[in-house]
Amino acid sequence: MNDSGENGEKKRSRRPPAERTAQRDPERTRAAILDAATREFAENGMGGARVDAIAERAGTNKRMLYHYFGDKEQLYLRVLEEAYVSIRTAERALHIGDRSPEEGIGELALFTWRYFLQHPEFLSLLGTENLHRARWLRQSVRLKELHSHLIGELSDVLEQGKKQGVFIQTADPLHVYLTIASLGYFYLSNQYTLSTIFGRDLLEPTHLNAWERHIVHVTLTSIKR
Amino acid sequence: MNDSGENGEKKRSRRPPAERTAQRDPERTRAAILDAATREFAENGMGGARVDAIAERAGTNKRMLYHYFGDKEQLYLRVLEEAYVSIRTAERALHIGDRSPEEGIGELALFTWRYFLQHPEFLSLLGTENLHRARWLRQSVRLKELHSHLIGELSDVLEQGKKQGVFIQTADPLHVYLTIASLGYFYLSNQYTLSTIFGRDLLEPTHLNAWERHIVHVTLTSIKR
DNA sequence: CGAGCCGGTAACTAAACAGTTACTTGATGG
DNA sequence: CCATCAAGTAACTGTTTAGTTACCGGCTCG
């Protein structure tokens, strides 16, 4: 039933400048807008992003954008929610409790670093949202449980490590997560100013690999007995 | 526009009589604009900052702003340069080489954290500049030597620590600095989203103090033998 | 078969914005 | 004592922007 390609083209249009009929695909249009918006907001922030630019990137127009998402702010919030759901979903699939505590933490650190590296738009969106003091995120209800799971799982792993005597008793799950995230976030999100003032390209593979090892090393030595 | 006759009421002159002359103080006006611009750019980013808002905050008007700084971009660059000069100047005054290596590094970590805490506008400006891939910072020549000094001094302290056998041989000055800056920057610049998703106010004194101790602990354990 | 719904387009509008211009006031040195 | 210039004000301008409206045309179902 999937009509791929052209069905009978009986359409000899009379007027419109665009004679080519776009095949209708609401789901695709919606996804294209969301994707285009993600890139536009990530590159230019909330204040700098242009609604016209998003429509153009999505290969559609403003009318559709307002039709599906309401207005610029609601679209931005959807982009942000989507970004959070993506990283937390991938994170869950790790199941850091399946390995030894030490390996579990190391795995989480590696995953986080590599996810940040492959999703610069996520870091950028976080930066924008924080510039505005989480003005839009705070309105979103559906995001909290997403995170309580992360802390819960991390807490279990730490407890097990403490019982086994490999981790110090004061190790705190939130602190461990913040440590991992800090080291990845700052290096990447501030790579441009850092590369400029220190005169080294931080994105060179050699430096990236060194920093990856550094993150794991710092995280583990800070909680090991 | 303004037609001749009609000398009755209502002749709205284009130029209202200046009732009182503000005392002239070019240096003060200049400083007021720079200060107002710092706040406006920090709060709204480059795209969100409004020239009119800066003029109003400074208690002056756009004409003066353009007179002293050329245009919005040049003003922004001056704000950014000023911010970097401020932190590096304060940092230099620490003289971290005067203490034992361990104390020196701890001192640098404490200073950095506290400076970030007291100067949220600096963090915000860094975020904005990185969103734009250091577009303006790269144009600034006068900022590189400012930073080579920092790395040089840090390198000396680490060398001394290695000689004394208290630091590991692989400790790298840039990595140490990035570690310290990461842990402070992320916690503060992302405090709004983090507080929201984890349901804790990260700015509460208890949590701030705990994180301060954490930064020093993490930094030192990562390089100690 | 035709009414009306739905995905889609382009031109429009009111407001906001960066940057300019026309003008005023007062201090100073010749 | 006035010519000149710098500090300062507010209205203006051309452009950009978020959001709207008028319209198009194919598809579906009664």
Identify from B112, B188, B189, B195 which residue to disrupt to test chain A contact, counting A C-beta atoms within 10 A and taking the largest count.
Answer: B189
B72 CB-to-strand C distance under 7 Å: yes
Instruction: Select the residue from B39, B148, B153, B179 to test the A interface by mutation, using most A Cβ atoms within 10 A.
Output: B179
Name chain B contacts of A85, Cβ cutoff 8 Å.
Answer: none
Can you list the residues of chain A whose pLDDT is less than 50? 1-22
- C-alpha distances (whole Å) from B59 to each of A180, B19, B21, B216 are 44, 17, 14, 42
For residue A67, the distance in angstroms to the closest alpha carbon of chain B comes to 26
Which 3 state secondary structure label does DSSP give A224?
strand
Please name which of A32, A177, A78, B69 lies closest in space to residue B60, comparing C-alpha atoms.
B69
**CB < 8 Å from B in window 162-191 of A:** 174-175, 178-179, 181-183, 185-187, 189-191
Positive/negative CA dihedral, A40, A129, A89, A216: positive
Strand C atom within 7 Å of B71 CB: yes
Helix then strand count (H, E) for chain A reads 10, 0
Q: Which nucleotide is nearest to B49 (CA to C1')?
A: C17
Task: Give pLDDT, residue B141.
Answer: 76
Task: Say yes or no: domain B25-70 is CATH 1.10.10.60.
Answer: yes
pLDDT tens string, chain B, 225 residues long: the values are: 232 323 323 333 333 333 333 456 778 888 999 999 999 999 999 988 999 999 999 988 888 899 999 999 999 999 999 999 999 999 999 999 999 999 999 999 999 999 999 999 999 999 999 999 999 999 887 787 789 899 999 999 999 999 999 999 999 999 999 999 999 999 999 999 999 999 999 999 999 999 999 999 999 999 999
DSSP B16: P
B5-19 burial: b if 16+ Cβ within 10 Å, else e: eeeeeeeeeeeeeee
| SS3 at position B167 | strand
Domain ranges of chain B: 25-70, 76-223
Same fold? B25-70, B76-223: no
Distance CA B110, CA B212 (A): 7
Nearest in space to A97 (alpha carbons), one of A147, A152, A143: A152
Give the pLDDT of residue B2: 30
What integer pLDDT is reported at residue B22 of this predicted model? Answer: 45
Which CATH number describes the domain made up of A24-70? 1.10.10.60
Query: CA(B128)–C1'(C10) in Å?
Result: 35
> What per-residue confidence (pLDDT) applies to B14?
33
Going B6 to B12 to B18 to B20, the CA torsion angle's sign is: positive
CATH T-level topology, domain B76-223: Tetracycline Repressor; domain 2 (1.10.357)
